[in-house]
Amino acid sequence: MESLRVSGVTVSFGGNRALDSVAMTAEPGRITGLIGPNGAGKSTLFDVASGLRRPSSGRVFLDGRDITRLRPSERARRGLARTFQRLELFGRLSVRDNLRVAAELGPERRRADRAVTEILARLGLTDIADTAPDALPTGVGRLVEVGRALAIRPQVLLLDEPAAGQDGEETERFAALLRSLTADGTAVVLVEHDMSLVMGVCDEVYVLDLGKVIAVGPPEVIRADETVLAAYLGDA
């Protein structure tokens, strides 16, 4: 059964249809890629899924329950976590405290300290646990955001360009981390411009263009899809 499902989601900004009747499903233990040229609607779809934007029509389901009317914090409590393209960390709290704030919202609040220590180690952030994110390079800040999302023990994790600003070696480590998350049964949705990362880790890829899903399939099918190639060339 799917962990996250959106159906018929439409969002308009004035006359501009940012999303037009979009449907997407993310399953437990799988990485679902969401790609598309700039302005395709990827972040807007994350905003709808996480509750930051109310769609003019359409529904969002988490584990089969309709959560369309729930606030973002209620969705987080039910296991839906996300990261942001522009970092949304507490810039002056330590990395550890940024994670602790989230862990205290999640199901393991009684053992929040231990959970945070484990996540810091898993992400390779232990050495900078006492540093404030404002003092870190953006690529590392993105990892802290991932850590904060993990701290609520999500069943669905929405990642908005988590590898931007990472070098090749960091991206490889990140790919391994994503795979380890799915081994835990988490449903991951990945918005990412780094195509080799997307094609290397995703089980299924959705392609958005001008607010519409123009293709869905495994990476090898998407890579060869003429409509997808045309959408990207049009963007160049």
Ligand X SMILES: Nc1ncnc2c1ncn2[C@@H]1O[C@H](COP(=O)(O)OP(=O)(O)OP(=O)(O)O)[C@@H](O)[C@H]1O
Residue 86 CB, shortest distance to ligand X, in Å, is: 10
Q: Are strands 80-82 and 65-66 parallel, antiparallel or unpaired?
A: unpaired
Q: Which is nearer to ligand X, 40 or 103 (CB)?
A: 40
Say which residues have a Cβ less than 8 Å from residue 118's Cβ, sequence separation at least 6.
Answer: none
Q: How far is the CB of 226 from ligand X (least distance, A)?
A: 21
* Nearest alpha carbon to residue 202 among 211, 194, 210: 194
Measured from the CB atom, the residue of 18 and 129 that comes closer to ligand X is 18
Provide, rounded to whole angstroms, the least separation between the CB of residue 140 and ligand X.
Answer: 21
User: With CB under 6 A as the contact rule, which of the stretches 32-40, 105-113, 131-139, 144-152 interacts with ligand X?
Assistant: 32-40
Q: At its nearest, how many Å lie between ligand X and the CB of residue 66?
A: 23
Please report how close the Cβ of residue 194 comes to ligand X at its closest, in angstroms. 12
Q: Which of residues 35-94 bind ligand X (CB under 6 A)?
A: 36, 38-44, 85
Which CB sits closer to ligand X, 85 or 131?
85
Binding to ligand X by CB under 6 A, coded x per residue (else -) over 149-178, reads ------------------------------
Closer CB to ligand X, residue 44 or residue 98?
Answer: 44
- Residues touching ligand X: how many (CB under 6 A)? 12
DSSP string spanning the chain?
A: --SEEEEEEEEEETTEEEEEEEEEEE-TT-EEEEE-STTSSHHHHHHHHHTSS--SEEEEEETTEE-TTS-HHHHHHTTEEE--SS--S-TTS-HHHHHHHHHTTSTTGGGHHHHHHHHHHHTT-GGGTTS-GGGS-HHHHHHHHHHHHHTT--SEEEEESTTTT--HHHHHHHHHHHHHHHHTT-EEEEE-S-HHHHHHH-SEEEEEETTEEEEEE-HHHHHT-HHHHHHHHHH-
Q: Minimal distance in Å, beta carbon 221 to ligand X?
A: 21
In the complex with ligand X, the residue whose CB is nearer, 44 or 171, is 44
The interface region with ligand X, picked from 12-20, 112-120, 141-149, 214-222 by CB under 6 A, is: 12-20
Looking at beta carbons only, is 38 or 110 nearer to ligand X?
38
How far apart, in whole angstroms, are the C-alpha atoms of residue 183 and residue 117? 20
CB of 205 to ligand X, least distance (A): 14
For ligand X, which is the closer residue by CB, 106 or 141? Answer: 141
CA distance 160 to 83: 6
- Under the rule (CB under 6 A), what is the footprint of ligand X? 13, 16, 18, 36, 38-44, 85
